[in-house]
Amino acid sequence: MSAKKFNPTDLISLVELEISVMKRYYNHTKDAIALSLIYFKLPRENEGYEEILERILRNTDAVFEEGEHVVALLYATNKTGASKLLSGIQEFLNEKPLDIIASYPKDAKDAKTLITKFQDDIKDNYGVLLDCLRIDEPIDIYEF
């Protein structure tokens, strides 16, 4: 089984939906109330790297590709689990380990804040602004 690919324009909607579902239904269990976003970059010639989706990511994970830039939405995965998964991907790609991870509820209490923090981390570390993380409406910024 492999992760499911989605249109990059669906990323924000899926994050908002999943957080809403967790807030409504899963407040009574700690296992189901976490999700994480991870970022990694594929080599420009990314032939053969579909194996990442097959071997490393789970069939419950959602993948959004923007050129060689990849964002994965990891359901029921906290920051520690996301870090382990991202390390495996970076090792597979022979990339230096760099955690670009944003997790709910650890890093933010809502989808827009989570996505903004994630985009800021990508920009600070890679100098990249991804269209799939663009929030067109103004949002409140909170410091954690």
Domains of the chain: 4-133 (3.30.70.270)
Q: Are 52 and 79 in contact (CB under 8 A)?
A: no
pLDDT tens for the chain, 144 residues: list them.
578 889 999 999 999 999 888 888 766 555 567 999 999 988 777 666 777 667 788 888 999 999 889 999 999 899 999 999 999 888 888 888 888 999 999 999 899 999 999 999 999 999 999 999 998 765 454 444
Q: What is the pLDDT of residue 144?
A: 47
Q: What is the pLDDT of residue 28?
A: 54
Residue 98: phi, psi to the nearest 5? -150, 110
Q: What is the pLDDT of residue 141?
A: 47
DSSP 3-state of 138: coil
Query: CA of 79: how far to CAs of 2, 47, 111, 126, 140, in Å?
Result: 21, 29, 16, 20, 23
